[in-house]
Amino acid sequence: MPIESLKERLPAFAKDAKLNLSSMLSDETLNPQQRYGLFLACAIATRNADVVRAFEALARQHLSPQALDAARAAATVMAMNNIYYRFVHLASNKAYESKPARLRMNVIANPGVDKADFELWSLAVSAINGCGKCIDAHDKVLHDAGVSEDTVHTAVRFAAIIQSVAVGLEAGEAAASLSEAAE
């Protein structure tokens, strides 16, 4: 499914999501690998199959097979880490902070793409998944690597837009299905 189809399917109440999506797609603040890897990792994090398919098709036009896999890996490993570290962070029992995670996450050390790009994708996915501990950890790595705050801000803004598109599509589908059922 092409991105244009997603835009066409967004209902009128999601006009802002459509406008933001258009502006995001024309924004060239990030380099192509950062941009399209981020799009794909964030699309996967939305768990919306149509959004994933659309951004996968777009990313395939711009990324190497290794970068595609790295973006998929960022979404996958953050799905695990964001749950675990959000729990550790939010739990009242601080004893969990001293326990080893015992989770395999080798891809973070060797993602197959520029480490800063992978960290940027991981941070954006962590923003979608709501893990402050992971956001802080990835932000620190990015800062130490010399990645600007503007780049991080853009990545999170793009994550927010992609999530908004997924929610708008789902809300529109739910409303349409309820309208059909009422007829």
Catalytic residue (choose from 10, 38, 54, 134): 134
Helix (H/G/I), strand (E/B), else coil: 183: coil
- Identify the residue whose tokens are 């502006």: 23
Query: Does residue 131 carry a catalytic annotation?
Result: yes
Sign of CA dihedral 23, 25, 29, 34: positive
Catalytic residue (choose from 17, 51, 123, 131): 131
Q: Which of 78, 58, 81 is nearest to 68 (CA)?
A: 58
Query: Does residue 42 carry a catalytic annotation?
Result: no
Output 106-115 pairs: Cβ under 8 A, ≥24 positions apart.
107/70, 107/73, 107/74, 107/77, 108/77, 111/70, 111/73, 111/74, 112/66, 112/67, 112/69, 112/70, 112/73, 113/33, 113/37, 113/66, 113/67, 113/70, 114/33, 115/141, 115/145
Catalytic residues: 131, 134
